[in-house]
A and B are shown apart, each in its own frame.
Chain A
């Protein structure tokens, strides 16, 4: 059984079909890329997979379950985590608290436990703090645990966002333009981070990226969309020489 199976995925905003007949299948363990010119509908696909938009047609089956009608937090609890194109950390909470709150779906205690400081509450909170620190340690962020995200450099904020997504213990990690706004040194760090995360956590990673260096050095398989339709797919080498892709990015020279 495949991890994620997307069939005939379509969404219309009014009369505009932002994405139409998108198809995709993950067996599990891949590192896939999704590229396309601006406005092609890449983030819209992610928004549908993470439950944020309701597709107009088509189905998304994750781990054997149809995600139609689920709220985003329920989809996340199934095992899909994501990061955002523009960093969306909770800016007035420490890095550690950012990770702690993301454990919400497996808190394991209720509001009454919280008032009573019951044994279950104490055990779970200790566990949550432990796993949160562990993930920060693993991503080399332990020193920033008590800092506010706004006080961190942009590259580290990206890292924290990836740490927060990883702390959800996802089976599928969606990265929406992880390299956006990073300088070239940070990009090198990001590439090795993603590669390390992929191997260490045995994750399936699906990323949207504009920087070809990142996509070409990481992704095993790439899908290209333009105007909401898949126009090409293949290995990085095939994509680089695909005339359709070149046309979509650079325009048609015969105009």
Chain B
């Protein structure tokens, strides 16, 4: 069996969504978008295939929101093309099959949650029943509250409700969990997983690698408007993480950097910290050569730190 078949099998095993029917639902093709002097997206391409959850991952100002706004037809590219559901994203028919959750600072406060959902549902030809939307977005207890009275997390859930109320095939979630506490973030993750289980295509933007890892079957890492890398969460984590070895040793740091798969060596007080893809090999060598070695710890490199390292390295490389 070929290696690619194995990978494909592994992917389908981890993600039961029908990757087999991978038709392109939306795509940005070598899109460049400038705001004055700032290039928000630089020759950026992205493809969403039917039924997949794609996370667009990057730090603030990376161009994630610009990509979403282009796909929603809210702005047009300086060059390149945007197609959504086979149409121009400004096409009204395309929009009836799209739901969106954008970063909204305030919503009209003097309408109740139920009223907002009723209104947004009316925009779609085949909406979900309001009761169903309230259930999916976990708004049942607060349906009759004015929007202005909701907490931050409740507001995000209500906006999520507005994104899904039209029963869309394609859902864009721009930083859906921003400003939420851990508990409500996890609750929203469950809801996004339920969407994907229902066969929806989802594009979400986030600056948390953990969030992308938990939700997406494909992660696209972007910084300063450019594509950095793209792959399954496992592939991305492999690229950005490695392991962190910490110990007290007499071995020379210059020697340690020559050991197989070592990415970085630095001193931390009396100990030395080594980042390596294959810590077992490194530790075996070190133990053979230094009997005084002690205080050994091996841990996963913090995902967020590693991600920051990746984006900042790339930034330096591009500079």
Q: Does B associate with A?
A: no
